[in-house]
Every structure is written in structure tokens, then in C-alpha cells.
Amino acid sequence: MEGFQYRFEPGTDPALPPLLLLHGTGGDEHDLIPLGREVAPGAALLSPRGRVLEHGMPRFFRRLAEGVFDEDDLRAQAAALAGFVAAAREQHGLAAPVALGFSNGANIAAALLLLHPGTLAGAALLRAMPPLRQPPEVALPGTPVLMLSGQADPIIPPQGSAALAATLEGAGAAVMHRSLPTGHGLTRTDLVLTREWLENGLK
């Protein structure tokens, strides 16, 4: 489907939205499965591998330098990922998924929200930054978004995550943004907050 290698785990609780798991640089389709199981036990898990390689490490889109994205490739890869989600939903009988993305995966999830609204029912963006220098005008009325950023993140400055939160809020999304006393890596607090957000109906 759209050239993506992926892993799918059927859900055992049909009341839960499926999770679209989007790994960080160097991860693969197996990377976030344990995280998905922990934060949403019983949910269907759909986990694709990024199609771009950077020094042999999978990513979801190219970058020109740290924090500088190849936006043409980003748009092309976001369109391909949206196509993959549509095909996977049809094949596996899934509702619109909630994305759970880390780092590069969080950035492609943010791009899906901005470029292909309706693909996602919501998104948990862990260590995300603005994917586009000039985001398009888009309507995301009430779309739930959890953003968890690190106060000491050496890759994403606080103003970067704040700018993305403002863009999504401006589009009408229901954004919960928490800045945690940590760096770029995930912590136990990330898992606890993500699970609580999911258990509370994405609120």
C-alpha cells in the first residue's frame, strides 16, 4: 500500500480508535508497538515504516539539515501516507485513526493534519515542530491534539513547539500542550499523559 512496509495489530476493544504509530528517525514499523500497547490497550495498531532513508535510517520525509525540512518531499510523503491510511482503513475495516508520533513521526503527523485534514481523528504529537514554514489555511474544528514538548530539548526550541500549537489552535483544533522538564527523548511522564488523554476521550 503506497510502498509502505507496515505492521498491523487488530484491536480487541472496538470502542477505541485505532492508533497510527509514527516512529522517529532510525525507527521502523516495530518501534512504537510496545508504546501503543501501553497507552491504548485493546486498540488496533497501524504502524508504517518511513519510506525515506537518511544514512540508512528510515524517516518519513527528507531534511536538508537539522530542523530544516525538504518541504517538497514532505508534501509528497504526507500525500503518500494519507493514501496509505485510506487503503489500510479499507483493507482492515478501521475508523479514522489517532496518530501517535514521536519526533520525525510527530512532524509528519502534524503535516497530515495541515495538508490532509480528515485523515486523522486526532493526534498525539511527542516532540513536534512546525513542519511547514508557511502552513496552509485549513479548518480542523474540534480535532483533538495532544502536544508534549521538552523544556530542554536541544533539537526543538520552545518557540518552535509553541508556534505549532498556535497554528493548530488557529485552525480550530482542540490543543492540549504540555511542556515537560526533559529533553528530546521520551519519558514515563509522556506515556502517562498520553494514556490519560486517550482514556479521557482525547481531552
30 an active-site residue? no
Q: What's the CA angle centered on 109, arms 54 and 68, to 5 degrees?
A: 45
8 A C-beta contact, residue 128 and residue 160: no
> Grid coordinates 502534524 are at which residue?
110
Annotated active-site residue 153? The verdict is yes
Measured CA to CA, the distance from residue 48 to residue 142 in angstroms comes to 26
| Catalytic position from the list 31, 153, 161, 190 | 153
Beta strand 98-102 with 122-126 is parallel
24 within 8 A of 102, measured Cβ to Cβ: yes
User: CA–CA separation, 146 vs 195, rounded Å?
Assistant: 11
Residue 164 phi/psi, 5° resolution? -65, -45
Quick check: helix, strand or coil at residue 35? helix
Active-site residue, 184 included: yes
What single-letter DSSP state applies at residue 135?
A: P
Distance CA 117, CA 128 (A): 18
Spot the catalytic one: 103, 149, 161, 190.
103
Please give the positions annotated as active site: 103, 153, 184
